[in-house]
Structure 1
Amino acid sequence: MSFQKIGLAALVGFSTLVTAAVAQDKPTLTIYTYDSFAADWGPGPQLKAGFEQNCNCEVDFVAADSSISALRKAQLEGPTTEADIILGLDTSVAAEARNTQLFTDHNVDLSALELPVDYASDKFVPFDYGYFAFVYDSSKIDNPPSSFEDLAAMDEEFKIAIQDPRSSTPGLGLVLWMKAAKGDQAEELWRDIAPNILTVTKGWSEAYGLFLEGEVDMVLSYSSSPSYHRIAEEEDKYLAAQFEEGHYVQIELAGILESSDQKELANQFLDYLVSQDGQAIIPTTNWMFPVVPLDDGLPEGFDTPLPEENSLILNDETVGQNTKQYIDDFFAAIGQ
C-alpha cells in the first residue's frame, strides 16, 4: 500500500472518529407522550425538527397509547427512567401527576399565554387546549340536542358513542363536564341518557369510527373536530353541537421530571413549545387551540374558541379527590 493510500485511510478513519465523537457529545432529550402526538401526522415530528435546528441536540419522542400510559411507564421506571419530559397530561390528571412527586418546577415564562379559564402551575406548562363536545352529521340531523336535558329527552333510537373514563381522556372529560355543568343532578341525567348510549368504547378512535360509519348519531369528541374535516378533507357537514350549559375545557400539559439530567434543555424545549413557532404547529396537527395568540391567526376554516363564559372546568384538587367517585357514579347510573 502506498504512503498516499495509507494517509488517505488514516484521514478517513480520523474523520469517522471525529463524527462519532461529535454525535456522542450531542445530548438527547427524551419525551414520553401519546401515540398520535408522536405520529407522522402529529405535532411531534415538526416540533422535533424545529427545535433541533437550534439546540445541537436530538429529540426522541417515546409514544404510549395515552398520556396516562406514559405517566405510568415513568412511575414504573422510577429514578432510572430515560424520560426528561412527559407531554400530553391534562388538567383532569394534573393533581394525580403532581402527587407522584416525579416532577420538578419549570422556569418557563407563561405570561404570554391566553387560556379560556384560569390555570397556573409551577410543575406543568400548558401547550394547547380544546373543548369536549358532541359531533354530528348536519346532513342527517337538523336539530341536534343543545343541552344534556335535550339529550336525555331524545328518542331511544337516537344513539351516541362515548368513551370509558377509566381509559380515555375524552371519556373522563365527559364525566367531569356533566359534573361541572349539573352538579348533584349528574347521576339522574346519566340515568335518563343511558338508553341513548349505544356503547362505551375503550378509546376515542373506536367511538369516532362508529360515528363515521353511521352506527351512531353523535359521538363524544372535541369542538375542533369539524375543523379537521373542513381543512384536511374539505368536508363541512360535520358540526359540534353547542350546549347551553357550556363545554368542559381540556388543557394539555407538559412537565419536566425531577430525575432528568437534561433539565436546562427540557426547559428550552418547553420555551420553544409555547413560542410562536411551536404553537403555529399545533392547530392543524393536534387539532387543538394554541395557548398564545398566533401572529398570523388561526388557519382558515379552523373553528374559533368558545366564549369565556361557556368554558367549564373543575379545579385540580377537586378532580384529584373525587374522580373515582364520579366514575363510579357514572357507571352505576348507566347500569354498567
Structure 2
Amino acid sequence: MKTAFRLCSALVLFLSHASQAADLRVYTYDSFVSEWGPGPQLEQAFEARCGCDLEYIAVEDGVSILNRLRIEGANNKADVILGIDDSLVVDTRATGLVEPHGLEIGPLRQELNWQDDSFVPFDFGYFAFIYDSSRISTPARSLRQLIDSDASVIYQDPRTSTPGQGLMMWVKSVYGDEAPAAWQQLSKHTVTVTKGWWEAYSLFLSGDADYVLSYNTSPAYHVVAEDKTQYRAAPFSEGHVAQIELAAITRTSQNKTLGRDFLQFLVSSEAQAIIPVTNWMLPVIDGVELPPVFDQLIQPARIGFSHEEAGASRQQWLREWRSSAAQ
C-alpha cells in the first residue's frame, strides 16, 4: 500500500510539473539552442535577471520559424520569435502575428542602418563560401568564378534556410535576369542542397565538398574553439549579401512584458558578449570585446536588396530557383 501511495504521489507531482508552462517561450533554430550555441548561456543569464523560466522551441532554420508560424497561426505557442532574418521581415509581418515592441533599442552599429518598430537585431554577418586552405590553394575570387568552376559545392534550401535564401539573393544580385542560367550551371557541381545550415556544414567538415555556404565569421569558430586556421572565407569581388538576425514579440504572446524584457536583454552588453563567440556572428552594438581573430575576418562590400524588395520578389525568386536548379 505504501509503495502504491508513493507511486501515485510521484505521478501527481510529475503531472503537476509537466503542466506548468514556461513563463517565456521562444521559437528559434536548432544550432542556436545546441550545447555549443548561445541559447543555453543566454537562457541562464536571462533567467538570473528575471527569476523566470525561459523555454526554447527549435526548428531547423530561420525560414522554418516563419513556416511554423504560418501553419500554427493564432494557435502558436511563441511569445518571441528569434532567428528570422531581414529578408523575411515583410513575409513575417504579413502573417499579422508580430507587433511593435515599444522599446528604445540602440544605439546599434551604424553599418546596420536598422530602423524598425517590431524587429530587433541581435547579430549579423555576411554570407560567404568557406573552403579548406589545406586542400584549395587558389580559391574562387568571385561568385561568377565559383559558379563557372567545377568545384564541388554544398548549400542550403532557400525554402527552409536563411543562408539558402541569402544565396538566392546573392545570385539574383550578381546575375539579374541571367540567374536561371547561373542556377543551372551551379547545379552541375552541387553535391547536395540541405534543409538547414548545420547539416550542410557537417558534410563539408567531413570532406564531402570543396565549398560550403556559410558566413564570413565561420573561420573564427575554428580558430577559437579548435585552434584550426585552415578554414577560410573566400572574398568575392562582386560583394557579399549581409544577414541581420532578428527577434520579435508575437501578437498572441501571453507575457508581452517579459518578451520586451528579453528583446532588451538581447542587445545588452552581457548578451552581446555571449553571442559572437557562441553563434559566431558579429555583435550589433559597438564596444564588445572580441577575440583577435575577428579582426582578421574578410570585411566584404555589402550588396543585395532591401527587405521590402526581398519580400516583394521572394516567391518569384524561389520559383526561379526551383525550376532552374532542378534541371
Is this a same-fold pair by TM over 0.5? yes
Match of 1:121 among 116, 119, 128: 116
Q: For the structure 1 residues 232 and 191, does the alpha-carbon distance in structure 2 shift closer, same or farther, using more than 3 Å as the test?
A: same
Is residue 34 of structure 1 aligned with residue 29 of structure 2?
Answer: yes
- Per the TM alignment, residue 47 of structure 1 is displaced from its structure 2 partner at its CA by 1.1
List structure 1 runs of 4+ shifted beyond 6 angstroms.
none
- Per the TM alignment, residue 74 of structure 1 is displaced from its structure 2 partner at its CA by 3.6
Q: For the structure 1 residues 225 and 246, does the alpha-carbon distance in structure 2 shift closer, same or farther, using more than 3 Å as the test?
A: same
The equivalent residue for 1:148 is 143
Is residue 131 of structure 1 aligned with residue 126 of structure 2?
Answer: yes
- Per the TM alignment, residue 202 of structure 1 is displaced from its structure 2 partner at its CA by 2.4
2:229 aligned counterpart, secondary structure: coil
The equivalent residue for 2:293 is 301
C-alpha offsets along residues 287-331 of structure 1, whole Å, 9 cap, x if unaligned?
Answer: 111100234x22232356654x70123112211121122122223
Structure 1: 5+ residue stretches without partners: 1-19
| Cα-Cα RMSD | 2.2
Structure 2: 5+ residue stretches without partners: 1-15
Q: Is the 8 A contact 1:283 1:299 kept in 2?
A: no
The equivalent residue for 1:255 is 248
1:79 aligned counterpart, secondary structure: helix
Q: For the structure 1 residues 40 and 193, does the alpha-carbon distance in structure 2 shift closer, same or farther, using more than 3 Å as the test?
A: closer
Q: Distance in 2 between matches of 1:203 and 1:187?
A: 23
C-alpha offsets along residues 104-133 of structure 1, whole Å, 9 cap, x if unaligned?
Answer: 101232231115343321111011011111
Aligned length: 309
The equivalent residue for 1:314 is 305
204-213 vs 228-237, which moves further: 204-213
Q: What is the TM-score normalised by the length of structure 2? A: 0.87
1:92 aligned counterpart, secondary structure: helix
Q: Is the 8 A contact 2:31 2:198 kept in 1?
A: no
- Per the TM alignment, residue 254 of structure 1 is displaced from its structure 2 partner at its CA by 0.4
- Per the TM alignment, residue 54 of structure 1 is displaced from its structure 2 partner at its CA by 2.1
The equivalent residue for 2:107 is 112
Code of the aligned partner of 2:290: L
Code of the aligned partner of 1:215: D
78-87 vs 273-282, which moves further: 78-87
C-alpha offsets along residues 8-48 of structure 1, whole Å, 9 cap, x if unaligned?
Answer: xxxxxxxxxxxx9xxx8x98111111122122221111111
Q: What is the TM-score normalised by the length of structure 1? A: 0.85
Give the 5 Å matches for 1:153-232: 153-154=148-149, 156=150, 158-232=151-225
Q: Is the 8 A contact 2:132 2:210 kept in 1?
A: yes
Q: For the structure 1 residues 45 and 205, does the alpha-carbon distance in structure 2 shift closer, same or farther, using more than 3 Å as the test?
A: closer
C-alpha offsets along residues 175-221 of structure 1, whole Å, 9 cap, x if unaligned?
Answer: 11121233233233333333222222222233222322222111111
Q: Sequence identity, in percent?
A: 44
Give the 5 Å matches for 1:257-336: 257-295=250-288, 297-303=289-295, 307=299, 310-336=301-327
Code of the aligned partner of 1:302: F
Q: For the structure 1 residues 174 and 269, does the alpha-carbon distance in structure 2 shift closer, same or farther, using more than 3 Å as the test?
A: same
Q: Is the 8 A contact 2:223 2:229 kept in 1?
A: yes
The equivalent residue for 1:59 is 54
